[in-house]
Amino acid sequence: MQLEDHLGDIIRKARAMTNVSSNATASAAGISESELAALEASGQGPKKLNFQALGKILGLDPQKLETITNGWLPAKIDLSVWREIRVITTRDADGMAVNCYLVWDEVQRDAALFDTGLDAQPVLDLVAAEGLVLRHIFITHSHYDHVDALPKIREAFPKARVHSGSKSAPVDQRNKSAEIIHLGGLRITYRETPGHAEDGVTYLVGNWQEDAPHVAIVGDTILAGSICNGNGQWELAKQKIREQILTLPAETLLCPGHGPVTTVAEEKKHNPFF
């Protein structure tokens, strides 16, 4: 799976974050404004960029930015280490892909779904194929692509408990402070990570068999090699990532709403926003 954001996406987001003009950005990079526009639109542009000056003006790490340009991807991760976790990717009519994640206890066969994606059927098919009972639905944030299939999934599993960070959610669905959810032998907690979305939440799943590392379902808080749109709250978004995600153990598996899975170690080493 390719990165969700190409070089142009990263530059465009960094410009929005820092309020740097296209003229100043192009000048720092050593290219024309038209070349910058093409780069931001497609990820394709001049082979040679002044990464040092570009990183300085946009608040990005120049070496990490160049690494992204050279085709960096997070190392392929063998999800069988965690045994009972699956990535389900659905797409809209325009081809936009979004990930949701199904986790279960292999003894009791109780399952939890993290976000719903755009199509309920792949989720329902997997639950049926594995002989699971869906007990919990955890919502990382309420943007449509992450909750679009929620009504159909709730129709199939009306007793599944919904968990959300939204202040407008029914009271019985709102995350409770310091709450620990037990899914068989697994333990699920949460951390508030607003920025991209006001109700942004990261869920931590631990106590895996054979001491597999924790799994953090991060929604759109952080992406492999990038971050999602800050929607006017860029500094808050970065602060929450630094405080709530990058402080997790290096081997923690990060499961974003778009693009490939990654780890804390990979993002600390390669994400140009940090």
| pLDDT tens digits, one per residue of 138-171 | 999 999 999 999 999 999 999 999 999 999 999 9
**For residue 231, is pLDDT > 90?**
no
Taking alpha carbons only, the member of 87, 81, 30, 29 closest to residue 55 is 29
Position 221 scores a pLDDT of: 97
Distance CA 161, CA 9 (A): 36
Q: Is residue 2 part of a domain?
A: no
Token pair, residue 107, equals 């003894």
Q: In what order do the strands lie in the sheet with 186-192?
A: 181-183, 186-192, 201-206, 215-219, 253-256, 262-263
| Whether 168 and 256 share a structural domain | yes
Mean pLDDT of 221-229: 97
Mean pLDDT over 33-52 rounds to 94
Residue 141 forms part of a structural domain: yes
Of the pLDDT bands very low, low, confident and very high (cuts 50, 70, 90), residue 52 is: very high
**211 and 84 housed in the same domain:** yes
- For residue 222, give its domain range: 79-270
pLDDT-based confidence at residue 230 (cuts at 50, 70, 90): confident
Q: Do 205 and 90 lie in a common domain?
A: yes
Cα separation, 273 vs 259, whole angstroms:
17
Same domain, 200 and 151: yes
Determine the straight-line distance between the first and last CA of the chain, rounded to whole angstroms. Answer: 23
Residue 1 binned pLDDT confidence (cut-offs 50, 70, 90): confident
The whole model's pTM is what?
0.96
Q: Which of 27, 42, 69 is the last residue of a domain?
A: 69
> What pLDDT band is residue 203 in, cutting at 50, 70 and 90?
very high
- pLDDT for 84: 95
**Mean pLDDT score of the chain, rounded to an integer?**
96
Q: Is residue 1 part of a domain?
A: no
The CB-side HSE value for 154 (13 A sphere, CA atoms) comes to 13
Whether residues 113 and 204 share a domain: the answer is yes
Residue pLDDT, tens place only, 104-113: 999 999 999 9
Which of the listed residues 22, 46, 69 is the one where a domain comes to its end? Answer: 69
| CA nearest to 115, candidates 74, 159, 87, 147 | 147
The per-residue pLDDT for 96 is: 93
- Measured CA to CA, the distance from residue 220 to residue 195 in angstroms comes to 9
